[in-house]
Amino acid sequence: MSSASGSETSGGAGGKKEASGSGSGGQLPSYPRNPMAGRTCYKCGDPDHFANVCKEYWEAKESNKPFVSPPLGTGRIERTMAPGSERRSLSADSYTVRSESDEMNRLMREYLARKEQVRVEKMEKEKREEAEREAEAARQEKARGKLEKEAEKKREQKERDDQLLYLVRMEIQRETGKKIESEESETRKYDRKTRKHVKTNERGETIENEKERLRREIAFLEAAEEEEEEDNELQFLR
């Protein structure tokens, strides 16, 4: 019985060895695990791939079309992400939010820069307009002063002419004993040709005509005085 049991024992051991040998020889080769398995794309929402290899996203980008993510369901979503992938998804989401915040800040800075530029341009325009108004006012003031000076010059010239006429009248009256019409006796006469009022004396002469007549009279008196002096010399010589 011992030999039989020994043979059974050895046979059993041999059978175990054969079983173990056949088992080790029949194992399948192991392959590396897919790193994207169980991951969810935050672009399209489909599992087992990342956003950088999302087919729908890149096709839309190449065709210059806006990519719209699918709406999230209101029901309970079965969790397909492996442990640790949720943390990476949150990091990606936070990066997206940060990128959007940076873009918003950039747009806000551009808006403020444009607003400041418009304000500066408006201030410069107002300064130019103010300078132009001041220059125009100065030009008008200068023109007004010039007109006033011309008017004052004409008034002074008229006063000198009136004084000269008065002296000439007095001289003629002294030499001839004739009464010369004074300026107070002058009347206004309407000139139909020029449509202006001109001053005339009792003889109907204007100031210029009167001046010319007085010059001729003075010249005549001077010539008469010279002839009288010559006559006196001739009489003295005789």
Do 198 and 218 lie in one domain? The reply is yes
CA distance 45 to 65: 18
Do 223 and 209 lie in one domain? The reply is yes
Do 133 and 152 lie in one domain? The reply is yes
Residue 22 lies in a domain: no
Model pLDDT for residues 86-138, shown as the tens digit of each residue: 555 556 566 676 777 888 888 898 999 999 999 999 999 999 999 999 999 99
Residue 102 lies in a domain: no
Do 165 and 208 lie in one domain? The reply is no
What average pLDDT does the segment 78-93 reach? 53
Do 122 and 174 lie in one domain? The reply is yes
What average pLDDT does the segment 156-175 reach? 82
Q: Which of 6-15, 60-69, 116-125 has the lowest mean pLDDT?
A: 6-15
Do 187 and 236 lie in one domain? The reply is yes
Do 171 and 185 lie in one domain? The reply is no
More confident residue, 84 or 69: 69
What is the model's pLDDT at position 39? Answer: 65
Domain tally, the chain: 2
SS3 41: coil
- Last residue in a domain, options 149, 178, 207: 178
- Last residue in a domain, options 156, 178, 200: 178
CA distance 10 to 210: 172
Residue 173 lies in a domain: yes
Residue 7 lies in a domain: no
What is the model's pLDDT at position 160? Answer: 86
SS3 203: coil
State which H helix or E strand residue 106 sits in. helix 85-176
Residue 9 lies in a domain: no
Buried b (16+ CB within 10 A) or exposed e, 64-99: eeeeeeeeeeeeeeeeeeeeebeeebeeeeeeeeee
Residue 73 lies in a domain: no
CA distance 50 to 43: 9
CA distance 105 to 120: 22
Residue 119 lies in a domain: yes
Confidence of residue 161 (pLDDT cuts 50, 70, 90): confident
Domain of residue 211 covers 181-238
Residue 165 lies in a domain: yes
- Last residue in a domain, options 178, 208, 223: 178
For the chain, percent of residues with pLDDT exceeding 70? 47
Do 233 and 200 lie in one domain? The reply is yes
pLDDT of 76 higher than 50? no
Q: What's the pTM value of the predicted model, to 2 decimals?
A: 0.29
